[in-house]
Amino acid sequence: MEITTVGLNYLNNGYGLKSWLLTKDHKRIAILYLLSITGFFFLGGFFALLIRLELLTPAADMVQPDTYNKLFTMHGIVMVFFFLIPSIPATLGNFLLPIMVGAKDLAFPRINLLSWYIYVLGGAFTVVAAATGGVDTGWTFYAPYSTSASNSHVITAGLGIFITGFSSILTGLNFIVTTHRMRAPGLTWFRLPLFVWSMYATSLIMILGTPVIAITVLLVAVERGLHLGIFDPALGGDPILFQHLFWFYSHPAVYIMILPAMGVISEIVQAFTRKNIFGYAFVAFSSLAIAIVGFLVWGHHLFVAGQSTYAGLIFSILSFFVAIPSAVKVFNWTATIYKGAVSWDSPMLYAFGFIGLFTIGGLTGLFLATMGLDIHVHDTYFIIAHFHYVMVGGAIMGYLGGLHYWWPKITGRMYPEGWAKFAALTVFIGFNLTFFPQFIVGYLGMPRRYAMYAPEFQVYNVLSTAGATVLGAGYVIPMIYFIWSLKNAPLAGNDPWGARGLEWEIPSPPPTENFVVSPIVTEGTHQYAPSREVGIGH
Amino acid sequence: MFTNFPFFPQQASEQAAQVDAVYFFLVAVSAFFAALIAIFLAVFAAKFHRTHHDQVGDAIHGSIALELLWTIIPLGITMIMFVWGAQLFFHLTRAPKGAMEIYVVGKQWMWKAQHMDGAREINELHVPVGRPVKLIMGSEDVIHSFFIPDFRVKADVIPGRYNTMWFTASKPGRYHIFCTQYCGTKHSAMIGWVTAMGAADYETWLGGGARTGTMADAGAQLFQSLTCNTCHLETGQGRGPVLKGAYGKPVELEGGGTVVMDDAYLRESILMPTAKVVRGFQPIMPPFQGLVTEEQLLQLIAYVKSLGAQGPTPPGQPATQTPAGQPSAPPATPTPKQPGSGN
Ligand SMILES: [Cu+2]
Ligand SMILES: [Cu+2]
């Protein structure tokens, strides 16, 4: 285990720009992704900050409604397509998946690099769309507004999403092939780290779902550019068709965002309780169940759109079904902590935060699956609060937790744990202050996407804005100490956490080829206690 | 005491309490499970906090019994939510027979309402308390959504088709109307007020204001000016089918099949007559797509409906003053059942 050579690793193996831009090393590509998605994260966060500032008062006084509409649109597009979807898979997934399966790289290293260039190209379109005046359709691009009414840069932004989609598809393809073909000897499916299972399930959705959103935005562009009647009834099209196509991808897409975070949490919970997961098979298969059933629930976005009531019934019951595997995960994580050797280090704090917030996010999803209740809360701030609990309280908490957990592996350095704890707490408090009031104001009836709102909603909006400020600070602090740590923090060594897993057996940062000798795996993940005796006393 | 810190919207319709009941049930279930998880996490985190550096946890691999337990119990509870929510949905979306009908048209960025007796309003909607009101809604441009939080009702308003919603206001007062489907620049200004009034006040309100005749009257005028009457003769001798008495009855179609003449069918028949051709007739009717506005279309439909006098009695006072010699809508009562349209 103890590899003492401070020698060559993937970071010091070539310094020039070229050695980075033409790299085929999955770890370097992960870093490229890390830098670019961080850029988009702060861009999307900047839009969010402006939104929250505008909403301090009921009138549209800081920006014009048109500007406001562009702000929430750009916030949604950037955060969903350029941050959340690639976040964990393209960074932590890219870095860790090959190592976790005991491989030297992904199956197709060149395609991996290509995927990053595609992502950057798509991102460039989006930045151009934003810089030249923005888009005002909402990230949902509902027709016929997007095709016939809006006079903003719909096609440019749509192309950005279209292009970036291919980077998702390529990443998914790479992960699936790697998981099937490149596992180390002895690494059976049921010995795989749960993070790999979640990446696998995510990849399935990426491959099966992304082509549909690509086609959908393309059809929007076609109708907008060529006036072919597809969605606009004035041209003989069907606007509800757009909603079906859009949500056919975009509902599963929420699982692209949350499944990876669930995988991260499974890893953290095991490492920081020094205990193997409770109910491995249930946690693993729940990922697949979510990926599959998640494709069959999109119609819950159309309950008030006049979709057939009987179709609605099916979508409603399936939406309840898809909640069950998520609940199973939460229960299993909680049970894992029982009789663990629980550490309160910052990654574990994020895991606690994730479990709590995701639980609230999931439970409030039930409100929306309940058809009669969805009529009232649909398109109000209740929805906004619900999906931010899942996407921000869930996905981003998981991402940050994972980043802290594997930071020593990625950079070879620790980070200041005190600050990290403080930041985790700040994020948790800021998050709840921002989004909990939105459940209440949503049930009161405040619609989403409102630049101006009724005065009785103001109290809650002020709370939200205050919370967003705290939350913003919570995101900037890690940024600072992570950068600081690169030069100043103590060296991490192979396994600073006393965790188990192939990634912790190799040096930090790992050598370019990951493993000098191909590993042979003889047991499942995170086996800490020597035997499987169950303690009864204490 | 909570006037500045409200937690719930007012319950101003008969539906509101039913929706809130489901809401409270879900809040209770959620609070229970969230608290359960939080307590377990806190207790475990404290009780099993690592005490020395190389301590490890017990190797517990799982329990089928527990997995079943925490699969089946949540499943059972969610099925209660499903059934209750579905029942509520059926109730909230099926207007009772005899509900008073009001037509609503959404356009960027205003709500236009037309009452059967001809009264029109913009961004305002007057309704009587205690009487089911059904809104038949269409859009002139993009998708909007009509939402009255204090009534707990909402439905999208979609171009090219009619969506309906209904409610029974239970408390006089003024309540917000919000557009909840993003529709462009002034989406957040596409708002208005519902005024719920006692029956007597409502009658007074209906009586006041300038009227140019009922919606059906306006439709009758259009029926002439758009030359519909040159083909659709009441005698049955015209080139088009007789529309009198046809509403709400099945129509036999060319190429087999029947369709019941409802608002959606009327809309389609006027805008795109060739979509469904009546059996025994030539497809010679010109399409009126683009030639009539949404409001005119609604007036034509109201007119054809008034000819039919079948199904729900027209609402309010079917004011039957006949302006300037137009063929007025016959009072809604006993039109002798005729074999109806030609086929
Ligand atoms: Cu969904
Ligand atoms: Cu609107």
- Cβ(A531)–Cβ(B58) below 8 Å: no
**Which run of H or E residues covers position A429?**
helix A417-444
Note the pTM of the prediction, 2 decimals.
Answer: 0.87
Q: What is the 3-state secondary structure (H, E, C) of A65-129?
A: HHHHHHHHHHHHHHHHHHHHHHHHHHHHHHHHHHHHCCCCCCCCHHHHHHHHHHHHHHHHHHHHH
CATH code at A220?
A: 1.20.210.10
Residues of A in Cβ contact (< 8 Å) with B184 = 69, 136, 145, 149-150
DSSP A510: P
Please say whether the beta carbons of A175 and A195 come within 8 A: no
pLDDT tier at B218 (50, 70, 90 boundaries)?
Answer: confident
Closest CA to A482 of A420, A395, A424: A420
User: Tokens 């957990």 appear where?
Assistant: A405
Query: Which ligand does the CA of A448 lie closest to?
Result: 2
- Find all residues with CB under 8 Å of A338, minimum gap 6, and list them: A278, B44, B48, B60
Would you call B19 and A323 a contact, using CB atoms and an 8 Å cutoff? no
Residue position matching structure tokens 């060594």: A493
CA distance A457 to A28: 48
User: Under DSSP, is residue A163 helix (H, G, I), strand (E, B) or coil?
Assistant: helix
List chain A residues with CB under 8 Å of B161: 233, 306
- Which residue spans of chain B are classified as CATH 1.10.760.10? 215-306
Q: Cα A229 to the chain's mean position, in Å?
A: 35
- Its CATH class, for the domain covering B215-306, is mainly alpha
pLDDT for residue B256 = 82
What radius of gyration, in Å, describes the C-alpha atoms of chain B?
Answer: 27
Q: What gap in Å lies between CA A17 and CA A20, rounded to an integer?
A: 5
The pair of structure tokens assigned to B146 is: 């009509």
| Secondary structure string (H, E, C) spanning A207-218 | HHHHHHHHHHHH
User: Chain B contacts of A374, Cβ < 8 Å?
Assistant: 85
Mean pLDDT value across residues B30-54: 93
Helices and strands (H, E) in chain A, number of each type: 17, 0
**Which residue in the set B22, B159, B187 is minimally distant from A373, CB to CB?**
B22
Q: Residue A440 carries which side chain, given as an amino acid letter? A: I
Distance from CA of A6 to the nearest CA of B (A): 25
Mapped onto helix, strand or coil, the DSSP state of residue B185 is: coil
Ligand 1 center to residue A247 CA distance, Å? 7
Q: How far is B97 from chain A (nearest CA, A)?
A: 19
Mean predicted confidence (pLDDT) in B33-55: 92
Strands B132-139 and B163-168, how do they pair?
Answer: antiparallel
The 10 Å Cβ neighbour count of residue B72 is: 11
Contact at CB, B86 and A313, closer than 8 angstroms: yes
Number of neighbours of residue A534 by Cβ within 10 angstroms: 11
Question: Residue A40 is which amino acid?
Answer: F
In this structure, what are the phi and psi dihedrals at residue B314, rounded to the nearest 5 degrees? -55, 145
Whether A452 and B66 lie within 8 Å, measured CB to CB? no
A373·B19 Cβ contact <8 A? yes
What percentage of chain A carries pLDDT values higher than 70? 97
Number of domains in chain A: 1
Q: What is the DSSP string of A242-279?
A: HHHHHHHHHHHHHHHHHHHHHHHHHHHHHHHHTSPPTT
Average pLDDT of B316-341? 36
Closest CA relative to residue A250, chosen from A299, A284, A285, A290: A299
Kindly report the number of other CB atoms within 10 A of residue A169's CB atom.
Answer: 20
* A234 to chain B: closest CA residue: B160
> Which chain A residues have a beta carbon less than 8 Å from that of B180?
378-380, 447-448
pLDDT at A296: 94
Retrieve residue A295's tokens: 């494709």
How far apart, in whole angstroms, are the C-alpha atoms of residue A148 and residue B60?
59
The per-residue pLDDT for A300 is: 95
Nearest-CB residue to A320 (from B78, B152, B181): B78
Ligand nearest, relative to CA of residue B179: 2
Distances (CA, A) of A218 to A155, B9, B145: 9, 41, 26
CA dihedral A358, A359, A363, A369 (to 10 degrees): 40
What is chain B's mean pLDDT, rounded?
84
Instruction: Give the ligand whose atoms come closest to the C-alpha of residue A140.
Output: 1
Residue A313 alpha carbon to ligand 1 centre in Å: 15
Question: Ligand 1 centre and the CA of A250: distance in Å?
Answer: 7
Residue B336 has pLDDT above 80, yes or no: no
Could you list the residue range(s) of the whole structural domain that residue A424 is in? 2-537
- Per-residue pLDDT tens over the stretch A297-344: 999 999 999 888 999 999 999 999 999 999 999 999 999 999 999 999
The DSSP symbol for A15 reads: -
- Number of the ligand closest to the Cα of A303: 1
**Tokens standing for A452?**
């101006």
Among the partner residues B22, B59, B155, nearest to A276 by beta-carbon distance: B59
In this prediction, residues B163-191 reach a mean pLDDT of: 95
d(CA B69, CA B47): 24
How many whole angstroms separate alpha carbon A199 and alpha carbon A86?
12
Sequence ranges of chain B with CATH classification 2.60.40.420: 1-40+95-211
* CB pair distance less than 8 Å for B180 and A239: no
ipTM of the complex: 0.91
pLDDT band at B207 (very low <50, low <70, confident <90, very high): confident
CB count within 10 Å of CB B65 equals 8
Average of per-residue pLDDT across A214-234:
92
Q: For residue B236, how many other CB atoms are within 10 A of its CB?
A: 13
Task: Decide if pLDDT at B58 tops 60.
Answer: yes
A328, burial (CB in 10 Å: exposed 0-12, middle 13-18, buried 19+): buried
The partner residue sitting opposite B62, judged by closest CB among A60, A280, A374, is A280
The answer to whether B248 and B262 are in contact (CB under 8 A) is yes
B143, A273: Cβ pair inside 8 Å? no
Percent of chain B past pLDDT 70, that is, above it, reads 87
What pLDDT does residue B120 have? 84
Q: What is the mean pLDDT of residues A105-131?
A: 95
Question: pLDDT digits over B253-276, tens only?
Answer: 888 888 888 888 888 888 888 888
| Residue B284, Cβ density class (10 Å: 0-12 exposed, 13-18 middle, ≥19 buried) | exposed
A204-213: pLDDT as tens digits: 999 999 999 9
Look at B84 and A370 and tell me if their CB atoms are within 8 Å.
yes
| Partner-chain residue, chosen from B37, B81, B156, that has the shortest CB–CB distance to A320 | B81
Q: According to the model, what pLDDT value does residue A319 have?
A: 96
Tokens linked to B161: 């088709």
Whether residue A301 contacts residue A247, with contact meaning beta carbons closer than 8 Å, is answered with yes
Which is it for the CA torsion A93, A99, A100, A105, positive or negative? positive
Q: How far apart are CA B105 and CA A375, in angstroms?
A: 20
Determine contact, residues A180/A172, Cβ cutoff 8 Å. Answer: no
Q: What is the pLDDT of residues B86-131, one digit of tens each?
A: 999 999 999 998 899 999 999 999 999 988 887 888 999 999 999 9
Helix (H), strand (E), coil (C) string for B207-254: HCCCCCCCHHHHHHHHHHHCCHHHCCCCCCCCCCCCCCCCCCCEEEEC
CATH for the B1-40+95-211 domain, from 3.40.50.720, 2.60.40.420, 1.10.1370.30, 3.40.50.1100? 2.60.40.420
Distance CA A99, CA A10 (A): 13
Residue B258 main-chain phi, psi, to 5 deg: -130, 165
Confidence band of B211 (pLDDT split at 50, 70, 90): low
Tell me how far the alpha carbon of residue B143 lies from the centroid of ligand 2, in angstroms: 7
From A277, A279, A397, select the one nearest A340 (Cα to Cα). A277
pLDDT per position as a tens digit, A180-216: 999 999 999 999 999 999 999 999 999 999 999 999 9
State yes or no: pLDDT of A280 exceeds 60: yes
